[in-house]
Amino acid sequence: MSMPISGISTLGPPGLEPTTGPAAGQPVPPATHALARMARAVRSNRKATAGTVLLVVFVLVSLFPGVIAHDSPSADAYAPRLGPSTAHLLGTTAYGQDMFAQLVWGTRNVLIIAFVAGLATTGIAVLVGVAAAYLGGLWDGSLSLLTDVLLVIPLFPLLIVIAGYAHGGSTPVLILVITLTGWSYTARQLRSQALSLRGRDFLEAARVRGERRLYIIVVEVIPTMISLIVASFLTNALYAVLFASSLQYIGLGDPNSESWGTMLYWAQNNAALQTGQPLWALAPGACIAALGAAFALLNYAFDEIGNPALRPVRRARVKRAR
Amino acid sequence: MRFALRRLGFFVLTLWAALTINFMLPRLMPGNPALAMLSKFHGELTPQTLKALDVLFGVNTHKSLPAQYVSYLHQVATGNFGISLDFYPKSVSSVIGSAIWWTVGLVGVSTVLAFTLGTGLGIVAAWRRGGRLDSILPPTFVITSAIPYFWVGMVFVLVFGISLHWLPYVGGYYVSTDAPSLSPTFFGDVLAHAVLPGLALVVTTIGTWILTMRNTMITTLAEDYVRMARAKGLPGRRIMVDYAARNAILPNLTGFAMSLGFVVSGAILIEYVFNYPGVGYMLLQAVQGEDYPLMQALFLLLTLAVLLAILLADIATALLDPRTRTAG
């Protein structure tokens, strides 16, 4: 399962590398360069635009839920099982709560999970992947082995088992569990990209300048991989949303939290589909799908955008392998 | 050969990691959760059962952690996973044995179906790159990949089960009017119950196969030998199937193995939505009933299933790809 390029430990002779990398000619620092390119790309790519608009809408709703939904999400103040009307856009639950309000107020919980777990997962992956590629030797061996083992163990059952022992998880617990188990795929991707960067001229230059290893990793290596890191964050955020919602749905979340997964849990508990209240279950599911689609669309777009940027790196790797 | 041995070593290591997770988790949790479970069932258990459970969860013991670990590994290696508390006094192994065939049938058939269908669609989409199929499929599956598995199941239940009354949507067969037997009526009954969950699984997993096959196929189509085949004037179908697809399917097989984790999680949720009597639904029941012995064993079983599937994919790759044979 180890990558074929893992055996490279020596630096290639300087001057043979293609000089098309970000730091080769222009004085632009790689990070701002990449970010500016991304911003431009988001505007020009239809998928990216759609994803951004969707995500911005969700973020706004989560920031100002009270503006959109005037009812309290938890108060069982109305008659139960009302159909959709102008007063209750989606009707009320079997407990007499306003469904639309629940949906709107539930956005925040899901977004927090998506962003915190997505960022934390990606952070661990960057740390492990880059460290494995850069430290090499025994470090690489053990970190890669850990990554591979975690990659093969089925994640969702593992999450269920952990949450089961913890008697269901509050939102921080869910985030923690998803973060600790979900970083392996990204770490592997980042490791192989960091490995392919190792012999590049601008890194060699930094080394000759006498920069410390940590400086090289943080200032020189990681900014070069920024497009892959952003794409990984989007994937991880998507899976955090799906996994957390699934756990909440099967009753392993906090049943009192306001979130889409918890709505689904109560809908399931009250047999909403069978008792003529399909919206109770379908609406939160549709919201999860829409938020997930926002991340997926952005990710797909970044794939299209990011790959040309990675091309010089790839070419270098192929040359090296021969 | 060396590759095979290294691979085998990796599988053993992963299995050991899963065992260790099972061992450590209840002991790491604040206030060993198994303690509550045991006290709940205390009066009903025989001394032997209690002893087996003590070894599994590390309660009522004065042994050091390493010593507990050794006796734990020994007990599990001899196939003793204890007694299921929800299905008392049945052993965990027998409880799982009754559920596993439902899952093997449902998930096995729908995974093979999704893989074959998805790979085929991926081949055609890549072959007619930029065509109608190719412009519709990838964006569609980018969106469907974001849809929660259980939600697809719910929509199926609502539309085909509740609204249209086309198919049954609860359980594996009509529990009240039918009993497991070898009769054709029971067989048809089981088949009817498997259609909706199976279809839901196919719909949720097919996108991965289509996308990976399409992408590797596009890379393969740019190879020199494909250009050569075109230059020779071979018929298009022959180039598509024998030249490009045959080579592109290898990475897809590896991808198949890597994606099995998703198939497993999808299957768990789909079984839950349809109350399908397989191991996924059983796992959730075990969690809700605090039946930790059953839960531990099911987690191990699912890990083992994924490992076995990866092994099969490895073997298939070795058989299909001569390069791996000479390299080994």
Closest CA–CA distance from residue B171 to any residue of chain A (Å): 15
Contact between A151 and A269 (Cβ < 8 Å): no
The residue in chain B having the minimum alpha-carbon distance to the alpha carbon of residue A299 is B142
The whole-chain average pLDDT of chain B stands at 82
For residue A284, what pLDDT is reported?
Answer: 92
- pLDDT higher for A228 or A175? A175
Q: What is the mean pLDDT of residues A42-63?
A: 86
Burial of B39 (0-12, 13-18, 19+ CB in 10 A): exposed
For residue A29, what pLDDT is reported?
Answer: 52
Any CB–CB contact under 8 A between B107 and chain A? no
Any CB–CB contact under 8 A between B25 and chain A? yes
For residue B328, what pLDDT is reported?
Answer: 42
The residue in chain A having the minimum alpha-carbon distance to the alpha carbon of residue B30 is A166
In chain B, which residues have their Cβ closer than 8 Å to the Cβ of A47?
A: 139, 142
Sorting pLDDT into bands at 50, 70 and 90, what band is B3?
A: confident
B-contacting residues in A 246-265 (Cβ below 8 Å): 246, 249-252, 264
Closest CA–CA distance from residue B234 to any residue of chain A (Å): 31
Substitution target from A46, A156, A291 for chain B, most B beta carbons within 10 A: A156
- pLDDT higher for A8 or A153? A153
Closest CA–CA distance from residue A249 to any residue of chain B (Å): 9
Gap between the terminal Cα atoms of chain B: 5
Residue spans of alpha helices (H) in chain A: 30-44, 46-63, 65-68, 99-135, 137-152, 155-165, 171-181, 184-197, 201-209, 213-215, 222-224, 226-249, 260-269, 278-321
Any CB–CB contact under 8 A between A46 and chain B? no
Predicted-complex ipTM score: 0.87
In chain B, which residues have their Cβ closer than 8 Å to the Cβ of A164?
A: 286-287, 290, 292, 295
Q: What is the mean pLDDT of residues A109-130?
A: 94
- What are the residues facing B119 on neighbouring strands? none
Any CB–CB contact under 8 A between A139 and chain B? no
Query: Per-residue pLDDT for A315 more than 80?
Result: no
- Cα gap B125→A318, rounded to integer Å: 28
Any CB–CB contact under 8 A between B299 and chain A? yes
Query: Per-residue pLDDT for B21 more than 60?
Result: yes
The pTM of the full predicted model, rounded to 2 decimals, is 0.83
- Cα gap B312→A181, rounded to integer Å: 25
- Cα gap B121→B125, rounded to integer Å: 6
Sorting pLDDT into bands at 50, 70 and 90, what band is A10?
A: very low
Write out the two tokens for B87. 């299905």
For residue A14, what pLDDT is reported?
Answer: 34
Sorting pLDDT into bands at 50, 70 and 90, what band is A56?
A: very high
Q: Do A249 and B150 make contact, defined as CB atoms within 8 angstroms? A: yes
Contact between A3 and A192 (Cβ < 8 Å): yes
For residue A301, what pLDDT is reported?
Answer: 76
Q: What is the mean pLDDT of residues A80-87?
A: 73
For residue B283, what pLDDT is reported?
Answer: 92
